Amino acid sequence: MTITIVTTADRPDLAHTTGTWRWEAFFSDGETSLAEVLELDAQCASSQDVMPTVLVMLEEQAPVGMVALCLDDLEGRPELNPWLAGLYMDPKYRGRGHSLTLIHQLEALARNAGIERLSLYSAEAVGLYSKAGWATVETFERDDKTFSIMQKQLSPHIEKARYA
């Protein structure tokens, strides 16, 4: 089994897959259309800036999961920038440690870019992020769910990111 991690900037052909995953996981029951999310992922893929960056995990060259580094993931909270956002793992590949690998690779990317702290918010995966060393700094309610805002201080040493 060969696992690689690429960016959508390096593999823009994956932007349709990441956009579809993002919409299905985070936007399908809201006001944001699939077309809007696909356009956003296509824009991310065409950017050479560190933000936004979408990392995609490939197993035997097939996409199985993703995570993004971005700004302004939580409306009205720019002081929490930058964000780890949109962590998604295809259900067939869950439970194998792949999500932790993606989290660590995104942290390495951010650290190499000189980012000292990342934020995220989640209602469902607080345990996963805690396992990866993230700490809850605040909670809020939305749509009858409790969300945790979590942060992680990135160590100042340079760690080589291992994505293709």
86-144 pLDDT, tens digit per residue, is: 999 999 999 999 999 999 999 999 999 999 999 999 999 999 999 999 999 999 999 89
- Rounded Cα distance between 75 and 125, Å, is 20
At residue 22, does pLDDT exceed 50? yes
Q: What is the pLDDT of residue 156?
A: 67
Q: Is the pTM of this model over 0.95?
A: no
Q: Around 11, how many Cα atoms within 13 Å sit in the side-chain half-sphere?
A: 19
Q: What is the pLDDT of residue 164?
A: 45
User: Could you tell me where the beta strands, DSSP code E, fall in the chain?
Assistant: 3-7, 53-59, 62-70, 83-89, 117-122, 135-142, 145-153
At position 130, the amino acid (one-letter code) is S
Is the Cβ–Cβ distance between 73 and 83 less than 8 Å? yes
- State percent of the chain over pLDDT 70: 95
CA nearest to 119, candidates 78, 81, 155: 81
At residue 159, does pLDDT exceed 50? no
Give one word for 143, left, alpha or beta, with left for phi > 0 and alpha for psi -120 to 50: left
Q: What is the pLDDT of residue 157?
A: 56
Q: What is the pLDDT of residue 85?
A: 97
